[in-house]
Chain A
């Protein structure tokens, strides 16, 4: 091929390219154009191939010209392709649209019972204060439930804890978790710092505020030189962690056979500004737990040297705390297991 022939082919290829209609081509046409110019017999392919027939000087001069024509051809095709893809995507994206307002699909997630979360919160705080967890049986004998706790037979203190006795067996359902105090002292040497959570049983009619089965957390500290002041310090710290750091406490004298001195602990009502409401029975204070310095008679029964060791004990009702924290009006709701009730709690899992 002569240079003149080549130049002629070049001009015709260039003009053919201009007229190929790449700007409006669809993907099919685009491929057809590509094959027409760059296929085995394509015009541009020929043009590039026939460069070899030219002289070195011509090659050097015309080679870049041909390459540049190819590059502009490629660019044209690519640009059109990209434009077509954009157009196609735009349509497809529209077609893809789903109804995003349909309800979410939840992986099945369960929840803990509010009495569990309440108990865990109580126990967590005491754990931070160095209290270990201790347990004991629900079915007990008189000794662990009464006599070892300085509640002798035929003592009216037994009235306050109406007891379920078992038929044909010398056993009863524990009326308080204080039994675990006794069991802990039987198996461990002082010093001690334990919480004993668990179920207790009282032979009393069930109503909105009374349950024959309920949860209690007993606490026991035994060490040297423990006094009522330590009880006040520990329980105030606990209550402020449980109910908020500004919680005000009130310790007033009371009576439990297994503690001496004894106290009932109230917190300033957190439902009203102290002016009285139904939650605090219009007193401005809410009774929250019973406590006291361990009666030396209890140490004596446990075989601890009551002249060396001293301690304090306390008991908290789990349902009572849960009812206060969550404003639950009826204790029976905890044992009905209505999903509408249960789903209101355990926000930690949401």
Chain B
């Protein structure tokens, strides 16, 4: 809210500077977000006339002028090219102070004494119009203070009023708050009405809860025109545009004392009556903002005999607005239920200074006095005569007093304020009365304009604000009896982050909201995804079903900017709809592509990331999770997950643990790769169910006996059908159940030259050993024979010559 300090001072005389006032406002909960100074920021500048102008004897670009300030003529050296004899100018006399505390004194310029300065607008801190000095034009008498021509100095403060304090949304409201804080008296509100005949303007209120009070006053014989200068400048100072005298008065009263008012052209009201009722189906309103609104059924409207003429508390209609042609004005002052006004404003997406105040809560006792004040002003400015007001009012319920004690208030604050201080502070806001005279409990009655005071906590805040949050000590509550712990998901997340960064992956953060296009580019459906009702834009329409689309974009972004290797992971949630609920699953997903090591100059050591690198990542993350069964994504046993369409169906594996699909790793689907300019990059992606990882029970590692005796190694170069998966070789070897076999290691894969068509060579190293003794050569040879025989029988394997 814009506050004019001069205006504020009309209600509460204050000696403080605007900056000091801002500091006080901050201490009681009103942040001043902006401060603009209006009016002159200089002194000692008067209207002068250039009597003569001569060339400076020693400088080409300077002239020597004689300036008359009405009393004395003085010589002034001027450098502006546009200065000339006969001009009326702003003349800074010796002793003047210009913006920036620039003091003007007599001094010699190139040997010529200069008594003061002829000013440009920018030198006076005013918006620039032309290069050179300010040529003012005829009018003001010589010697007139230029500052006085600019209007009074003022400070315009942008005061932030929190939603619980609508009572401070006016100059008088804020002054009232400051009066309480400084313990000063508010200036009395002037006014007084001369009323003539009684008007016959029936008011019917259909819903007294929605509109507990409606008053209207008929003013006849007005001449609507432009507002007087004082009124216009007040409105303009706080950024409002003057419209006409009657409308300006209602706006003025709103910002002066906080009560929204509305003026109708009484001649335009059909049936000469006012009905406050609910809107009916199909009703419309052409509002003052020149827009047509289809009113949903059930909004609170002010209607005449035929149709709605205002959306109650929000905005009036254009058809019944006061114009310069208006002679009969019906002035409305009402109290509307805040929730009703808010509902109307939300449903129509129409907001106004009125609705802003009504929906926060106006003073239910204020409408009559405010309307009186406005009517008096209209009579003064626009003439006419006012009828007695017509009012319809429901019985206003008195607020319950709050019963509490100083001890309770000190306990909420953790403070040690005295009885006198606490009751004194509250006494400036409402009325404080001791209960039973025992001095312990007291009651507090809040004034009608406060809608935020109900409990001891509410009063504690008032006490804290007025006595100062700074005067409340710093205290450490004793430690809770329980120890701090993390959730299983957070514990698992930290472990995953540690492992993934150690594996060389960088953490990315992407938004949870994505576009349909993004999902489509990743072959993901969007029809079953949770959708935002009114998205900021199509880019933010859906909750993501997978973290991978974001990571692909990150990869594309960095590759297009010159990166040749990308290793990203993200921890986050994926979403899906389940009935009337939304399921959220913590996942960790990633993408790797490009050289693993940053060792381009040693190409032999810089292989590109492959499927097998990513497979290792899964193995690392699932290390303690149980035995992994790898299933091809295309097989039924792999089950289904939301990210599946992103993976290459043949070159992707699912890690299944205890029958549950928990992770997927594989090539990025080639079509998606093409769409993201990743086709030649060989992107490998993975996706892990972090919730599952976090949910499992983990037994501590158990010591197992190991042997320090030497082991025996035997290498076998097997020739197999090319289609034989390596895993079959391992399982056949294991199926031989040779107790002494400790390890199988694949150390070479070869196909091509010197290999028969359709064959491949796999070289494996078998490690044998026992923990109690060293094996003999014949024992090892027997074991190898068994294995070779099994491989030959099961897989048709032969040994390479």
User: With an 8 A cutoff between CB atoms, is B339 at the interface?
Assistant: yes
Cross-chain contact A234 with B477 (CB below 8 angstroms) = yes
Q: At the interface, yes or no: A156 with Cβ under 8 Å from chain B?
A: yes
Given A252-B29, A252-B469: A237 in contact with B476 (beta carbons within 8 A): yes
Interface status of B7 (Cβ within 8 A of chain A): no
Residue B480 is within 8 A (CB to CB) of chain A in the complex: yes
Contacts of A254 in B (CB 8 A): 29, 162
Q: Kindly state the separation between the CA atoms of A41 and B598 in the bound complex, as whole angstroms.
A: 63
Q: List residues 100-140 of chain A with CB under 8 A from any CB of chain B.
A: 102-103, 105-113, 115-116, 126-135, 137-139
Q: Beyond A139-B543, A227-B415, A228-B472, is A109–B504 a contact (Cβ under 8 Å)?
A: yes
B411: which A residues are within 8 A, CB to CB?
225, 227, 310
Please tell me the number of chain A residues within 8 Å of chain B, measured between CB atoms. Answer: 91
Q: Would you call A261 and B343 a contact (CB within 8 A)?
A: no
Q: Is the CB of B480 within 8 A of A191?
A: yes
In Å, the complex CA distance between A213 and B487 comes to 23
Evaluate contact between A115 and B509: CB separation under 8 angstroms: yes
The CA-CA distance from A14 to B417 in the complex, in Å, is 114
**Is B27 positioned at the interface, with any CB of A under 8 Å from its CB?**
yes
CB–CB A260/B582 < 8 A: no
Q: Does A148 count as interface, using CB distance less than 8 angstroms?
A: no
A154 interface contact, C-beta 8 A: yes
Contact of B415 with A228 in the complex, beta carbons under 8 Å: yes
Contact of A108 among B359, B597, B602 (CB under 8 A): B597
Q: Measured between alpha carbons, how far is A81 from B245 in the docked complex, in Å?
A: 118
User: Contacts of B475 on A, CB cut-off 8 Å?
Assistant: 227, 229-230, 232-233
Q: How far is the CA of A227 from the CA of B543 in the complex (A)?
A: 40
Please provide the chain B residues from 294 to 353 with a CB less than 8 Å away from any CB of chain A in the complex: 338-339, 342-343, 346
Contact with B along A197-241 (1 / 0, CB 8 A): 001010111100000110000000101011111101110110000
Whether B413 is near chain A, meaning CB under 8 Å from some CB there, is yes
The answer for the CA separation of A294 and B373 in the assembled complex, in Å, is: 42
- Segment among A26-34, A64-72, A168-176 that sits at the interface with chain B: A168-176
- The interface stretch among B560-568, B634-642, B711-719 is B560-568
Instruction: Scan residues 528-543 of chain B and give those whose CB is less than 8 A from a CB of chain A.
Output: 530-536, 540, 543
The segment from B376-384, B458-466, B660-668, B732-740 found at the interface with A is B458-466
- Residue ID in chain B nearest A215 by CB atoms: B509
Given A165-B534, A229-B474, A260-B461, decide whether A127 and B580 contact each other with a Cβ distance below 8 A. no
**Choice from A109, A260, A336 contacting B457 with Cβ under 8 Å:** A260
Q: Which of A6-49 contact B (CB under 8 A)?
A: none
Complex Cα spacing A170 to B579, Å: 12
Q: What's the least CB distance linking B737 to chain A, in Å? A: 39
* Contact, CB under 8 Å: A337 / B580: no
| Closest chain B residue to A349, Cβ basis | B501
* Residue B612, interface by CB 8 Å: no
Q: A338 contacts B558, CB within 8 Å? A: yes
Q: Do A228 and B469 contact each other (CB < 8 Å), given the known contacts A106-B598, A133-B485, A260-B461?
A: yes
* In-complex Cβ contact of B511 among A192, A213, A261 (8 A): A213
* Min distance, Cβ B589 to any Cβ of chain A, angstroms: 13
- Which B residue sits closest to A120, measured CB to CB? B494
Q: Which of A147-184 contact B (CB under 8 A)?
A: 153-157, 159-160, 164-171, 173
Size band of the interface chain B makes with A: 35 or more
Judge if B500 is at the interface, Cβ distance under 8 Å: yes
| A-contact 0/1 string along B450-488, CB 8 Å cutoff | 000001011011001100011011111101111111110
Q: Which residues of A contact B568 (CB under 8 A)?
A: 337
User: Which of A133, A165, A234, A260 interacts with B458 by CB under 8 Å?
Assistant: A260
A110 to B29, CA, bound (A): 45
Taking the complex as formed, is A296 at the interface, i.e. its CB lies under 8 A from any CB of chain B?
A: yes
Cβ contact within 8 Å between B536 and A203: yes
Please give, as numbers and ranges, the residues of chain A lying within 8 Å of B413 by CB-CB distance. 227-229, 261
Contacts of A255 in B (CB 8 A): 29, 162-165
Q: List the B side residues contacting A232 at CB < 8 Å.
A: 414, 469, 472-475
Q: Are B487 and A133 in contact (CB under 8 A)?
A: yes
A337-B509 contact, Cβ under 8 Å, with A137-B584, A139-B575: yes
- Establish whether residues B481 and A191, one from each chain, have CB atoms under 8 Å apart when the complex forms: yes
Report A-chain residues with C-beta under 8 Å of the C-beta of B412.
227-228, 261, 293, 310
Is B5's beta carbon under 8 Å from chain A?
A: no
CB closest residue in chain B, given A265: B469
- Given A105-B605, A130-B479, A173-B532, the answer on whether A261 and B510 have CB atoms closer than 8 Å is no
> Cα distance A179–B259 when bound, in Å?
36
B490 at the interface (CB under 8 A from A): yes
- Interface Cβ pair total, 8 Å cutoff: 269
A113 & B509 in contact (Cβ 8 Å cutoff): yes
Chain B, residue nearest A160 (CB): B163
Residues of B within 8 A of A157 (CB): 163-164
In whole angstroms, what is the CA distance A133 to B492 when docked? 13
- Which residue of chain B lies nearest to A202 when distances are taken between CB atoms in the complex? B536
Answer whether residue A251 sits at the interface, using C-beta atoms and an 8 A cutoff. Answer: yes
- Knowing A108-B597, A335-B511 touch, does A132 contact B504 (C-beta < 8 A)? no
CB atoms of A262 and B532 under 8 A apart = no
B26 within 8 A of A: yes
Contact A166 B504 (CB under 8 A): no
B724 to chain A, nearest CB (A): 32
Say what secondary structure dominates the interface of chain A.
mixed
Residue numbers in A under 8 Å from B506 (CB-CB) = 110-111, 113, 339, 342
Kindly state whether residue A145 has any CB partner on chain B within 8 Å: no
For A194, give the chain B residue with the smallest CB separation. Answer: B484
Q: A205 to B535, alpha carbons, bound, how many Å?
A: 10
For chain A, residues 248 to 303, give those with C-beta under 8 angstroms from any C-beta of chain B.
251-255, 257, 260-264, 293, 295-297
Alpha-carbon distance A199/B513, docked complex (angstroms): 12
Considering only CB atoms, which chain B residue lies closest to A297 in the complex? B455
Q: Is A334 an interface residue (CB 8 A)?
A: yes
A320 at the interface (CB under 8 A from B): no
Q: How far is the CB of B756 from chain A (nearest CB, A)?
A: 39
Contacts A227-B414, A229-B474, A335-B509 given: A261-B460 contact, CB under 8 Å?
yes
Q: How far is the CB of B56 from chain A (nearest CB, A)?
A: 42
Which residues of A are found within 8 Å of B342, using beta-carbon distances? Answer: 154-156
Does B360 count as interface, using CB distance less than 8 angstroms?
yes
Q: Which residue from chain B places its CB closest to the CB of A229 in the assembled complex?
A: B414
Assuming the A-B contacts A156-B342, A212-B540, A339-B563, are A230 and B28 also in contact, with contact meaning beta carbons closer than 8 angstroms in the complex? no
Partner of A252, one of B26, B480, B598, B601: B26
Asked whether A233 and B465 contact (CB < 8 A) given A106-B597, A139-B530, A139-B543, the answer is: no
User: How far, in whole Å, are A263 and B469 apart by their CA atoms in the complex?
Assistant: 9
Whose C-beta in chain B lies nearest to the C-beta of A294? B457
Give A224's nearest chain B residue, CB to CB.
Answer: B477
Known contacts A103-B601, A166-B531, A225-B411; is-contact A253 B29 (Cβ 8 Å)? yes
Q: What is the CA–CA distance of A257 and B501 in the complex, to the nearest angstrom?
A: 41
State A135–B584 Cα separation when bound (angstroms): 12
Q: How far is the CA of A131 from the CA of B534 in the complex (A)?
A: 37
The residues of B with any CB-CB pair to A shorter than 8 Å are 26-29, 31, 162-165, 338-339, 342-343, 346, 359-360, 410-415, 455, 457-458, 460-461, 464-465, 469-470, 472-477, 479-487, 489-490, 497, 500-513, 530-536, 540, 543, 554, 557-558, 561, 563, 566-569, 573, 575, 577, 580-582, 584, 596-599, 601-602, 605
4 tightest Cβ-Cβ pairs between the two chains A and B: A108-B504, A229-B414, A227-B414, A253-B29
Q: What are 21 contact pairs spanning A and B, CB under 8 A?
A: A113-B508, A126-B484, A154-B343, A156-B359, A167-B533, A171-B530, A171-B582, A193-B480, A193-B484, A204-B536, A227-B413, A229-B413, A232-B474, A233-B473, A236-B474, A252-B29, A252-B31, A264-B31, A334-B509, A337-B509, A338-B557
Residues of chain A at the chain B interface (Cβ within 8 Å)? 102-103, 105-113, 115-116, 126-135, 137-139, 153-157, 159-160, 164-171, 173, 191-193, 199, 201, 203-206, 212-213, 221, 223, 225-230, 232-234, 236-237, 251-255, 257, 260-264, 293, 295-297, 310, 334-340, 342, 349
Additional A-B contacts beyond A133-B486, A260-B455 (10; CB < 8 A): A108-B567, A132-B485, A156-B163, A253-B464, A254-B162, A260-B460, A335-B511, A337-B558, A338-B558, A349-B501
